[in-house]
Amino acid sequence: MDHLKAKIRHVPDFPKPGILFYDITTLLGDARGFRDTVDALAAPYMGEDIDAVVGIESRGFILGAAVANALGCGFVPIRKPGKLPSRTVKASYSLEYGADSLEMHDDAVAPGSRVLIVDDVLATGGTAEAAARLVKQIGGDLRALAFLIELNVLKGRDRLPGETVYSVLQY
C-alpha cells in the first residue's frame, strides 16, 4: 500500500495551526490509486451481504459511494446539519480541532439493515462515533467502519469500543 501513501499530500497547518492535513485529492486524481483505494476498502466486505454503505461528509461521500458500487448495495449520506431535505436524527461530537454535529435521514436504512460506514480518515474518532450512533439510532445493524487512513497517535479507535474497525493505511 506504499503506492497509495505516496499519492497522499500532507498539508501542514490546515485547517488551523498545528494540524497536519492528509489531502487525498491527489490520490483520488490518480486512476490506479483511486481504483486500488476502493478495492482495498471494499475487499473485506465482499460477500458479507452489506445492505448499505454510509459515507460521512464530504470525502466519505466519494469513497463510500464507490465502495457501495463495488459491493452492489445502496449508499446513504451523513451530512452536516441543515443539508438533508427530510426528517433527520442528529449526533454531536468533538474532533481534534473543534466540535460539530452530523445528521442523517431518520429512514435512511431499514431496521436490521447491514451497514458499513466509510470515511477517509479516522483521527480522534469523534466523527466516526457520531456516525455509528446515528446508524444504530435508526435501527441499522452496524457491521463495521472502514477508513482509508488511521492516525494511530490520535487513538480514534478507542472511541469505538466493540466496533469492527478496518483501516487501509496506518500513520
Distance of CA 108 to the CA centre of its chain: 16
**Residue that is written with C-alpha cell 486500488 in the block:** 36
Choose the catalytic residue: 59, 79, 143, 159. Answer: 59
CA pair distance 50, 116, nearest whole angstrom: 7
In which region does residue 76 sit, left (phi positive, over 0), alpha (psi from -120 to 50) or beta (all else)? beta
Q: Which of 48, 57, 79, 96 is flagged as catalytic? A: 96
d(CA 99, CA 93): 6
In the annotation, is 96 catalytic? Answer: yes
59 noted as active-site residue:
yes
Rounded Cα–Cα distance for residues 103 and 79 (Å) = 5
Residue 7, helix vs strand vs coil:
coil
Cβ neighbours of residue 98 closer than 8 Å, sequence gap 6 or more: none
Which residues are known catalytic residues? 59, 96
